[in-house]
Structure 1
Amino acid sequence: MEQNKSLNTSYYRSLTRNMVLIVIIVSFTPMILVGGVIYDQFHESYHEKVYAHLEVLVKKHKQNIDAFLKEKLSDIRFFSAAFNFQELSNEAFLEEKLLTLREEYNEVFEDLGVVNDQGIQTAYAGPFKLVKADYSEADWFKRAVKSEYFISDVFLGLRGMPHFIVAVRRTWEGKHWILRATINFMAFNSIVENLRIGKTGIAFILNREGQFQTKLHSGIVSTEGCVNFLRSLKRNGDKIHIIEKCADSGKATIYVTAFLKGGDWLLIYKQDRLDAFSDLKHSQMTAILIFIIGGLCIITMAIVLSRGMVSRMANADQEKEMMNQQVIETGKLASIGQLAAGIAHEINNPVAIMVEEAGWIQDLLEEEDLKETENLNEFQRALKQINTQGKRCKEITHKLLSFARKTDSTVHDVHINEMIEDVVGLSAQSASYSKVVIDTKIQKDMPSVRMSQTEMQQVLLNLINNALDAMNKKGGTIDISSWSENKHVIIEVSDDGPGIPGANLARIFDPFFTTKPVGKGTGLGLSICYGIIKRMNGEIDVNSVVDKGTTFRIRIPLS
């Protein structure tokens, strides 16, 4: 046997090695081929993807900036339409509207002012003293008075700080007037500078003259090239332009541009080419690292999977061997069944004689004048018990014979409660020896059920004996309950023993499954109980909690 075990171990090791090699070869070959093709295509298309990515980012940023400008212009247009020149000329009223705008937009609006057709600011709300300020010579006023609405370039103006103006022209009593608002330069600049990629990527805005509309960047020495490029482009609001050329520093640089404010401003995103394509080298290193990790994963999975499959094959072989042993044990049980049937047949005759003799003694007691006998009641009780147990022995032997010959058991109307009391009486001695108390909770006036009483007794005795074995003489309680419900009779057998582990619950009704030591259980008891209840068109199920107990519930139809 040791030699066979050694041969099997060698066979399974060889099988595992072969499976590991096959899985590794089959997995690595397509991975190398596909990886090479993918890398080649990735290398060729990477430039296009980088450009496409930058184009999308710049276009989205352009849309955000344009939306910011249009939103602020819409706010001023709304106020100029909702309120007339006279209302807005009231500085208290204008101050209230400025406060509303600041609460809504986090002080993006610095101030508000009303300017008449002569360029004089007639009303002002804000931190500066600009009431009666004269804007008649200001470039923004000259342009704003000629159009319905206007957004200026960034300039210093009277306050000496960079800002730009959003203005809306309206008419009051035949004369033009302008509602203007100053936009906080730092708030606008932060929106533009949000577009930063890599280490060298920066965004800025120029006007037509090449003047910065955002903060001056230290990395930009001259904007002359950008201005020339700006003048060479057609002012297409949706077109994104991408070029590569050497910057002032001599490094190859990528420029991505988009027009803003109807073509008056140019949004420029600038990034060193090496920085923009730095991910290519990172991708190459990542691909190599992924290849190594993937290879290690394949090798690991090949080993684990092969060992798992071989282990399952070994377990299947072992289960097959166990099944063969169970078939042998089944043959032995069949032989024992035949022997038991013969013994039952032989026992049947003396039991019948015992029952007849008990009846004869009963007749004699009735005929003789023994009414004054002190132990007459005890004699009658003993004879009744002999008669009852003799009939039960006869039914048990009949069951053995029917089981051996595969004939139907005797079926008749059974009083469930009486049967339970009989079974409890038979198990009382064993329960007392195991320090177990059996309690019954039975519903009165239970209807009779047509069944084989001996089979049902066999089921209950098996459940009680299993509970007694589980409590292992440590003591406890077995509760047996019965009641009728929805045209069914319900019988429950509960104990407060150690319970059944969840892994075993699904198999307890399987033939030959047992957790008892070898020689102390065949694993057929619950399987037979399950078969008996199913033949009655009933159901049996189990609920168990470890360290709390187990409950078996039987449902049998009344019909």
Structure 2
Amino acid sequence: MEQSLTDRKAFYQILTRKIMVLILVVSFSPMILTTGILVYRFNLTYTEKIQAHISELVQKHTQNIDTFLSEKLGNIRYLARQFDSKQQSPKIFLQKNLGLLKKEYGDVFTDLGLVNGNGIQFAYEGPFKFENADYSDAEWFIKASDKPFYISDVFAGLRGHPHFIIAVKITSNGSDYILRSTINFGAFNSLVENIHIGKTGIAFLINSKGKLQTQTNVGLKQSIIASMMDSDCYKNNETIFAKKQDALGNKYLCVTSRLKNIDWLMVFRQDLNDAFRDLWKTQLLALAIFIFGCIAILSVAFTLPRNIVKLISSADKKSEVMNKQVVESGKLATIGELAAGIAHEINNPVAIMVEEAGWIEDLFEEEDLTGSENFDEFKRALSQINTQGKRCKEITHKLLSFARKTDSTVNDVQINDAVKEIVSLTAQMARYNNVIIETNLNEGIPYIRIAPSELQQVILNLINNAIDAMEKSGGTIKIETKISQIEKNHLVISMEDNGPGIPKNNLDRIFDPFFTTKAVGKGTGLGLSICYGIIQKMGGKIDVHSQIGSGTKFRIWIPFQEEIIEVTDNDSESEIQGEKT
């Protein structure tokens, strides 16, 4: 005995270690793998999201600047087509059109000027005194002379502050002119200054030589700006997203996009620490959670095996008791199967007995036995045989139904027809108990695929229960069918009586097997339980509302596969109110 206890103790120690190792391996392996995959995927997704967001922002503002330049170039080209040196004075032409441009666009257009082929501005309208200004050596004039139109880089020029020029070539009366306009740099620069993300995200424009074309609030060295240029953006005319590092070792995001009307690049720059701050915070949080999870796993690995072994030890001591319970359970299962078989076998002789009792009653009617001393006793005995035989048949039928022995063949069933059939079968019983059955069967109810016998069993059981509840005082049963306005693609069968009602304490138990409030010998408690199981199998649901002294209402929802049925507004409103109540 002592050796057996020692062996068992050693066995429990080995089992404890094995469980501990198993917990550590099974817990840490998927945790490390899952955490690694999630962190990697989240990092990848977040990076793609940042890239997509910034790229889309840069593209959007690039398009806005392109639209701005295209619109202003279009305005000047339109004015150029209207100029005719013979029909109007150049000074009046410029004065009139500059006024129109300012009225339409505000201070976007600073001035207008006409320059002849020698580079002399012979007509000018604006805030400066630039009549007869010589632009023959100006870069913009030289380039504009060879092109239909030209948009210059930003430069200081004669006025001493940043601006750029839109120039359009004009041919009038055999002479070539250039219509030029200065664009307000402040209005243009604001289009780019509005782009801000985080603390360090800024945008600016550079030309093909890497020189700034807009002002920035952050001082950037020319070498840093030049390093942001991407030749692929010029070659492929597409938005380029890249991670770079400047001469100082600072890592940053750089997004470049080329403008269409001019060789400028829209550049967005943001420090990597700023762009991925939220990502790194999330990674730190994930690391903290991972460490906490590791601590929790270690705690469980050292405590759970001991508790498990204790439970196993306790379970070993109770094994004999459990074995006995298993044997008893097997006996009960066998008895259940035997009871179902007996119920099935009893069903036929009981049916014959009821038929024979009915046949004897027919004989009594055919032969005059009223003079017999035991005639009334015979009648009473036959009536009792008939009543109890039917009761036996009902009990066996319910037992078989509860054991799912009844026919469950699925067919297309029309709910209204099934209700009418059951109502006709129970009409005589209802009249006998002074109960009136009223039906309100809505038209347009679609067919549903269910077992007809199961649906009939549900409806019949609910009607019989209502009749039994009102057998003393009589009353009314109202049955209604409709398409639910609450549950989509569901039919509703409501069955309401004005009987005595069900006590509140019993409402939660009425669907439990073998629960009944009927007198001993009058109910098995299986009816509503069977109904509940049948409705659940159909994919529907059943509920009950009851109030003492006012009656009881059962509602059954059964799904169907038809398309949405059109219902008039009045009907829909009344049906919704009916379902809610």
Output the TM-score relative to the length of structure 1: 0.51
| Structure 2 CA distance for aligned equivalents of residues 243 and 551 of structure 1 | 69
Instruction: Tell me the amino acid that sits aligned with residue 289 of structure 1.
Output: A
1:351/1:299 CA distance change after superposition, 3 Å: farther
Instruction: Tell me the amino acid that sits aligned with residue 549 of structure 1.
Output: K
| Structure 2 CA distance for aligned equivalents of residues 343 and 229 of structure 1 | 101
Q: SS of 1:546's equivalent? A: strand
Equivalent residue number for residue 29 of structure 1: 29
Equivalent residue number for residue 423 of structure 1: 429
2:120/2:134 contact within 8 Å kept:
yes
| Structure 2 CA distance for aligned equivalents of residues 416 and 256 of structure 1 | 78
Instruction: Tell me the amino acid that sits aligned with residue 150 of structure 1.
Output: Y
Equivalent residue number for residue 113 of structure 1: 112
1:90/1:298 CA distance change after superposition, 3 Å: farther
2:515/2:526 contact within 8 Å kept:
no
How far has the Cα of 1:169 moved from its partner? 1.3
Q: SS of 1:167's equivalent? A: strand
How far has the Cα of 1:79 moved from its partner? 1.9
2:114/2:178 contact within 8 Å kept:
yes
Return the match for 2:135 from 134, 137, 159.
Answer: 137
| Structure 1 CA distance for aligned equivalents of residues 396 and 53 of structure 2 | 87
Give structure 2 stretches of 5+ with no counterpart. 1-17, 302-324, 401-420, 441-455, 482-492, 533-537, 547-551, 558-581
| Structure 2 CA distance for aligned equivalents of residues 477 and 298 of structure 1 | 66
Equivalent residue number for residue 182 of structure 1: 182
1:109/1:181 contact within 8 Å kept:
no
| Structure 1 CA distance for aligned equivalents of residues 26 and 184 of structure 2 | 65
1:120/1:133 contact within 8 Å kept:
yes
How far has the Cα of 1:424 moved from its partner? 2.2
1:113/1:179 contact within 8 Å kept:
yes
1:325-372 deviation line (CA, Å, top 9, x unaligned): 5764675687789899989988988987776566656999xxxxxxxx
In the TM superposition, 1:73-472 aligns within 5 A as 74-76=73-75, 79-80=78-79, 83-85=82-84, 89=93, 91-92=95-96, 95-96=99-100, 99-100=103-104, 102=105, 109-111=108-110, 113-117=112-116, 119-120=120-121, 122=123, 124=125, 128-129=126-127, 133-137=131-135, 139=138, 140-141=140-141, 143-156=143-156, 161-193=161-193, 196=196, 199-205=199-205, 212-215=212-215, 217=217, 219-220=219-220, 223=222, 225=223, 237-238=234-235, 244-247=245-248, 252=250, 282=281, 285-289=284-288, 291-292=290-291, 325=332, 328=335, 397=389, 420-428=426-434, 438-441=435-438, 463-467=462-466
1:62/1:113 CA distance change after superposition, 3 Å: same
1:135/1:141 contact within 8 Å kept:
no
1:352/1:391 CA distance change after superposition, 3 Å: farther
Instruction: Tell me the amino acid that sits aligned with residue 164 of structure 2.
Output: F
1:359/1:387 contact within 8 Å kept:
no
1:189/1:403 CA distance change after superposition, 3 Å: closer
1:196/1:202 contact within 8 Å kept:
yes
1:269/1:322 CA distance change after superposition, 3 Å: same
2:193/2:216 contact within 8 Å kept:
no
Return the match for 1:479 from 477, 480, 498.
Answer: 477
1:186/1:545 CA distance change after superposition, 3 Å: farther
Matched, 1:550 2:554: yes
1:58/1:269 contact within 8 Å kept:
no
1:150/1:166 contact within 8 Å kept:
yes
Q: SS of 1:189's equivalent? A: helix
1:388/1:331 CA distance change after superposition, 3 Å: same
1:243/1:254 contact within 8 Å kept:
yes
Q: SS of 2:150's equivalent? A: strand
| Structure 1 CA distance for aligned equivalents of residues 425 and 265 of structure 2 | 99
1:204/1:268 contact within 8 Å kept:
yes
1:265-318 deviation line (CA, Å, top 9, x unaligned): 676666667767878865752441353477699999x9xxxxxxxxxxxxxxx9
Instruction: Tell me the amino acid that sits aligned with residue 495 of structure 1.
Output: D
Instruction: Tell me the amino acid that sits aligned with residue 246 of structure 1.
Output: A
1:224-271 deviation line (CA, Å, top 9, x unaligned): x458879x9989824879864435xxx656695969679976766666
1:432-486 deviation line (CA, Å, top 9, x unaligned): xxxxxx224489xxxxxxxxxxxxx99998544422566899x894327799xxx
Q: SS of 1:522's equivalent? A: coil
Instruction: Tell me the amino acid that sits aligned with residue 189 of structure 1.
Output: N
Instruction: Tell me the amino acid that sits aligned with residue 183 of structure 2.
Output: I
1:330/1:185 CA distance change after superposition, 3 Å: same
1:493/1:423 CA distance change after superposition, 3 Å: farther
How far has the Cα of 1:72 moved from its partner? 4.1
Identity among equivalent positions (%) equals 26
| Structure 1 CA distance for aligned equivalents of residues 278 and 530 of structure 2 | 71
Q: SS of 1:219's equivalent? A: coil
| Structure 1 CA distance for aligned equivalents of residues 270 and 154 of structure 2 | 24
Q: SS of 1:169's equivalent? A: strand
1:514/1:63 CA distance change after superposition, 3 Å: same
Equivalent residue number for residue 574 of structure 2: none
1:498/1:264 CA distance change after superposition, 3 Å: same
In the TM superposition, 1:51-90 aligns within 5 A as 60=59, 64=63, 67-68=66-67, 71-72=70-71, 74-76=73-75, 79-80=78-79, 83-85=82-84, 89=93
1:515/1:166 CA distance change after superposition, 3 Å: farther
Equivalent residue number for residue 522 of structure 1: 524
Q: SS of 2:433's equivalent? A: helix
1:237/1:263 contact within 8 Å kept:
no
1:472/1:246 CA distance change after superposition, 3 Å: farther
1:23-68 deviation line (CA, Å, top 9, x unaligned): 774242144257569989999x99x999999996898589558735
How far has the Cα of 1:167 moved from its partner? 1.8
| Structure 2 CA distance for aligned equivalents of residues 346 and 131 of structure 1 | 127
Q: How many residues align?
A: 441
1:162/1:324 CA distance change after superposition, 3 Å: farther
1:243/1:263 CA distance change after superposition, 3 Å: farther
1:235/1:263 contact within 8 Å kept:
no
| Structure 2 CA distance for aligned equivalents of residues 439 and 266 of structure 1 | 88
RMSD of the TM alignment (CA)?
Answer: 7.0
Instruction: Tell me the amino acid that sits aligned with residue 429 of structure 2.
Output: V
| Structure 2 CA distance for aligned equivalents of residues 272 and 20 of structure 1 | 47
1:66/1:260 contact within 8 Å kept:
no
| Structure 2 CA distance for aligned equivalents of residues 98 and 184 of structure 1 | 11
2:233/2:257 contact within 8 Å kept:
yes
Give structure 1 stretches of 5+ with no counterpart. 1-17, 303-317, 365-382, 407-414, 429-437, 444-456, 484-490, 531-538, 554-559
2:438/2:476 contact within 8 Å kept:
no
Instruction: Tell me the amino acid that sits aligned with residue 153 of structure 1.
Output: D
| Structure 2 CA distance for aligned equivalents of residues 198 and 181 of structure 1 | 37
1:116/1:493 CA distance change after superposition, 3 Å: closer
1:348/1:397 contact within 8 Å kept:
no
Q: SS of 1:246's equivalent? A: coil
2:143/2:150 contact within 8 Å kept:
yes
| Structure 2 CA distance for aligned equivalents of residues 344 and 233 of structure 1 | 96
